[in-house]
Amino acid sequence: MGIVIREKKRKSEKLREIRETRGAILLNSDMVEGEERGLFFKQNES
């Protein structure tokens, strides 16, 4: 029984790591998109 619980814990830790890295990637892409949009608007103004 103990082995099964340990396996489940390991899987949930892996999932949490994946979720965290995915979240970081999404945040970064949002920031990049925002910067690109800002540059685009500045170019249109001038």
pLDDT digit string (tens) for the chain, length 46 residues: 677 878 888 999 998 998 888 888 877 777 777 777 777 667 666 5
Per the domain annotation, does 15 fall within a domain? no
| Look-up of token digits 């965290």 | 20
Per the domain annotation, does 29 fall within a domain? yes
pLDDT at position 26: 79
| pTM score | 0.43
Per the domain annotation, does 12 fall within a domain? no
Per the domain annotation, does 42 fall within a domain? yes
φ/ψ region of 41 (left if φ > 0, alpha if ψ in -120 to 50, else beta) reads alpha
Structural domain containing residue 34: 20-46
Per the domain annotation, does 24 fall within a domain? yes
Per the domain annotation, does 40 fall within a domain? yes
* Interatomic CA distance for residues 5 and 13, integer angstroms: 12
Per the domain annotation, does 34 fall within a domain? yes
Per the domain annotation, does 8 fall within a domain? no
Q: How many domains does one find in the chain? A: 1
